[in-house]
């Protein structure tokens, strides 16, 4: 029956509800500094009360002596002595009541010091001091004396008895005083000194009797047999597990074609049958190892618990494995309120950000207008606001993180911050430049712009970089810091409303009237579908060179992103119109002797009977010669 009780205790230990362990935990708490301070202050107060009690007892003895020495006729003096004795008795009652009240007030807060028996079990608690001995010293001395009595082969248990002393009741064995029970000891247990001393005596005797029975030769042989039986049972279970494992593997090999199929979805195979078989083998090995571990974890404490001297080993083994799990579970349970707060903060901030995004999307679609706030600022501004809101959320969550106030956590945070600040200086510069560019609004997605020597259409604009696609379909990435520090030419910003002016130049000889050239250039521009008819194209004469006049044609177009095609078509029409009107383009420098040379106009624009003129030579002679 005793073995079953121990096995039941072991199961309680596994479940974390072992009463003995809970008692051990409470005993460990005795060393708590608050408890020591409470008992120390209380015992100091008791010392003062005890001194007063001794003085009162001496006074009482004197009064009683005087009372007995009086004659029967001294009634007046006798009455006075009786009143003094009554006052001392009333004072004694008040003292005891006050002591009991103080003990009752400390009963739920102060823990005593345990007296440990031979079997390492707690026999009773000591709360008060006697003389110069503190409660802890008293408990240790009593424990040592009990063990000395157990080790005495000639001990007569009947010799352990209670003897009344002057102010205490002593529990003695022969000449050895095992412990003294004071009035304060009795008050802690709400009993008289005699009844409490008798109870302590019985507990001590019972612990010695049980220890001697537990450590007898018969019990030793029985425990050895139990150890062999437990080991045999554990070995038998190991053999059964091994056989069951082999049979299960054989069954899986036989049934693998039926049980295991390729795991596919939309013609994609996640796991083949062979891979699934490997996964099953691995899972079975892990499960077998886990079962072996559980078996070992249960068997060793059972073996340790059989012998009294090794029972603490079982507790230590259980605590070695169970304490981390218990600590983790306790930490998780204690952290649940903070975790719930974090989730609440996250979800509230998430839906608030959704609301803010809705407001900015309305601004972007121009359904909501704010004076001075452009619609293309909406989403970049939302990105900034979202970042700030998430930063604010992190500030709220940070104190709720586990160990956020520890020095290690703070040190790692500072270290990461330093690395980020040192390694991201250029990135921060680009981010700041990206913010400035956003609110400067020099360009937007789709605009044809020129940055430095690069011309192209804006395809992406982020906080860090701007990407352009050139007319050769090249993607060029430009850091925002470079964009902000240089000049940016935007061809598209005014093209949609007022049109973009494209200009090109030709040089025509002085022999052609400038009005004809002006008209020819304007007519050439109007032939192009990519040139606006209104406003009308116009021509400037930019210079009068040595051999020709420089003309500049200016025309409006809304196709800013097709400038290459616009210029190409414009040049084609200029050549056609000038050829049709017999105007030679002498660009950049072209010199021709007209006599005997073909004109520079293309042949398909010349008359069919056109022939190059002959060279004319005029000879002038002197009549006198």
- At 246, the pLDDT band (50, 70, 90 cuts) reads very high
CB under 8 Å to 306, separation ≥6 — which residues? 3, 6, 223, 226, 227, 230
Considering only residues 212 and 204, tell me which one the structure prediction assigns the higher pLDDT. 204
Per-residue model confidence as pLDDT tens digits over 307-336: 766 767 767 777 777 788 788 888 888 889
pLDDT exceeds cutoff 60 at 349: yes
Per-residue model confidence as pLDDT tens digits over 374-419: 887 888 888 889 988 998 998 899 888 887 777 777 777 777 777 6
pLDDT exceeds cutoff 60 at 33: no
Weakest-pLDDT range from 24-38, 359-373, 436-450:
24-38
Cα separation values, 423 from 416, 477, 482, 567, Å: 10, 21, 19, 47
pLDDT exceeds cutoff 80 at 592: no
Q: What is the mean pLDDT of the chain?
A: 80
pLDDT exceeds cutoff 80 at 84: no
- At 623, the pLDDT band (50, 70, 90 cuts) reads low
Mean pLDDT value of segment 36-64: 60
Q: What are the phi and psi torsion angles at 465 (to 5°)?
A: -140, 165
Token pair listed for 232: 């045999």
Length of the chain: 625
Q: Note whether 506 and 581 are within 8 A (CB).
A: no
Share of the chain above pLDDT 90, in %: 28
Mean pLDDT value of segment 582-602: 68
Q: Any bridge partners for residue 585, and if so which? A: 508
- Cα angle, residue 608 at apex, residues 578 and 574 outer, rounded to 5°: 10
pLDDT exceeds cutoff 60 at 18: no
pTM, whole model, 2 decimals?
0.43
C-alpha dihedral, 445 to 450 to 454 to 456, nearest 10°: 40
**Predicted pLDDT at 13:** 40
Give the integer Cα–Cα distance in Å for 525 and 521.
6
**Predicted pLDDT at 309:** 67
CB under 8 Å to 219, separation ≥6 — which residues? 213
- CA distance between the termini of the chain: 166
Inter-axis angle of helices 75-106 and 33-69, nearest 10: 170
pLDDT exceeds cutoff 70 at 502: yes
CB under 8 Å to 568, separation ≥6 — which residues? none
Give the integer Cα–Cα distance in Å for 40 and 34.
10
Share of the chain above pLDDT 70, in %: 80
The secondary structure of residue 604, as a DSSP letter, is: G
- At 81, the pLDDT band (50, 70, 90 cuts) reads low
Query: Closest by alpha carbon to 175, among 145, 147, 205?
Result: 145
**Predicted pLDDT at 393:** 93
**Predicted pLDDT at 403:** 75
**Predicted pLDDT at 547:** 79
Cα separation values, 469 from 185, 264, 430, 530, Å: 94, 42, 20, 22
- At 554, the pLDDT band (50, 70, 90 cuts) reads very high
Give the integer Cα–Cα distance in Å for 368 and 490.
27
Q: What are the phi and psi torsion angles at 562 (to 5°)?
A: -120, 40
**Predicted pLDDT at 4:** 40
Mean pLDDT value of segment 488-510: 87
Q: Note whether 613 and 595 are within 8 A (CB).
A: yes
Give the integer Cα–Cα distance in Å for 120 and 20.
11
How many CA atoms, within 13 angstroms, populate the side-chain half-sphere of residue 577? 20
- At 510, the pLDDT band (50, 70, 90 cuts) reads confident
Considering only residues 101 and 46, tell me which one the structure prediction assigns the higher pLDDT. 101
**Predicted pLDDT at 20:** 36
Considering only residues 40 and 426, tell me which one the structure prediction assigns the higher pLDDT. 426
User: Across the chain, which distance is largest between two alpha carbons, in Å?
Assistant: 205
Q: What strands, in cross-sheet order, belong to the sheet with 176-181?
A: 160-164, 169-173, 176-181
């Amino acid at each position: 029956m005793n073995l079953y009780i121990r096995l039941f205790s072991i199961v309680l230990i596994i479940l974390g509800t072992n009463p003995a362990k809970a008692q051990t935990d409470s005993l460990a708490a005795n060393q708590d500094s608050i408890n020591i301070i409470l008992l120390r202050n209380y015992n100091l107060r008791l010392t003062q009360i005890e001194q007063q009690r001794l003085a009162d007892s001496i006074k009482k003895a004197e009064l009683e002596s005087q009372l007995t020495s009086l004659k029967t006729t001294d009634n007046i003096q006798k009455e006075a002595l009786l009143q003094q004795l009554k006052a001392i008795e009333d004072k004694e009652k008040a003292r005891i009541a006050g002591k009991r009240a103080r003990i009752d007030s400390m009963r739920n807060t102060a823990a005593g010091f345990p007296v440990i028996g031979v079997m390492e079990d707690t026999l009773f608690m000591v709360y008060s001091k006697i003389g110069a001995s503190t409660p802890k010293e008293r408990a240790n001395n009593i424990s040592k004396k009990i063990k000395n009595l157990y080790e005495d082969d000639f001990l007569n248990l009947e010799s352990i008895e209670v003897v009344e002393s002057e102010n205490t009741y002593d529990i003695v064995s022969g000449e050895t005083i095992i412990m003294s029970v004071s009035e304060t000891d009795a008050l802690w247990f709400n009993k008289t000194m005699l009844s409490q001393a008798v109870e302590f005596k019985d507990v001590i005797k019972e612990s010695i009797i049980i220890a001697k029975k537990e450590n007898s030769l018969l019990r030793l042989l029985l425990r050895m047999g139990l150890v062999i039986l437990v080991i045999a049972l554990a070995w038998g279970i190991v053999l059964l597990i091994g056989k069951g494992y082999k049979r299960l593997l054989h069954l899986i090999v036989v049934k693998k074609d039926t049980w295991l199929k390729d795991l596919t979805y939309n013609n994609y195979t996640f796991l083949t049958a062979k891979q699934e078989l490997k996964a099953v083998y691995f899972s079975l090995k892990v499960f077998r190892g886990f079962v072996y571990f559980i078996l070992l974890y249960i068997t060793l404490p059972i073996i340790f618990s059989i012998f009294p001297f090794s029972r603490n080993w079982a507790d230590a083994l259980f605590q070695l494995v169970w304490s981390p799990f218990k600590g983790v579970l306790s930490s998780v349970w204690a952290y649940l309120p903070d975790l719930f707060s974090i989730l609440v903060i996250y979800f509230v901030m998430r839906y608030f950000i959704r609301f803010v995004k809705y407001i900015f999307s309305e601004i972007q679609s121009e359904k909501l207008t704010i004076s001075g706030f452009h619609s293309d600022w909406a989403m970049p501004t939302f990105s900034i606001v979202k970042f700030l809101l998430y930063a604010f959320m992190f500030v709220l969550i940070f104190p709720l993180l586990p160990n956020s106030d520890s020095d290690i956590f703070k040190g790692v945070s500072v270290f990461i911050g330093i690395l980020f600040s040192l390694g991201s200086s250029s990135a921060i510069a680009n981010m700041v430049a990206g913010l400035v560019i956003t609110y400067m609004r020099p360009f937007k997605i789709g605009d044809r712009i020129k940055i430095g020597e690069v011309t192209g259409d804006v395809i992406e604009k982020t906080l860090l970089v701007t990407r352009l696609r050139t007319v050769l379909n090249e993607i060029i990435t430009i850091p925002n810091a470079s964009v902000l520090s240089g000049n940016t030419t935007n061809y598209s910003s005014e093209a949609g409303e007022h049109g973009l002016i494209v200009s090109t130049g030709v040089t025509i000889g002085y022999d052609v009237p400038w009005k004809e050239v002006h008209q020819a250039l304007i007519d050439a521009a109007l032939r192009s579908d990519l040139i606006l008819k209104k406003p009308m194209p116009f021509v400037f004469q930019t210079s009068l060179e040595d051999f020709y006049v420089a003309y500049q044609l200016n025309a409006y177009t809304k196709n800013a992103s097709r400038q290459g095609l616009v210029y190409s078509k414009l040049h084609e029409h200029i050549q056609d119109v000038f050829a049709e009107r017999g105007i030679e383009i002498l660009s950049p420098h072209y010199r021709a002797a007209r006599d005997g040379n073909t004109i520079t106009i293309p042949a398909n624009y010349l008359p069919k009977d056109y022939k190059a003129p002959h060279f004319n030579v005029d000879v002038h002679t002197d009549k006198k010669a």
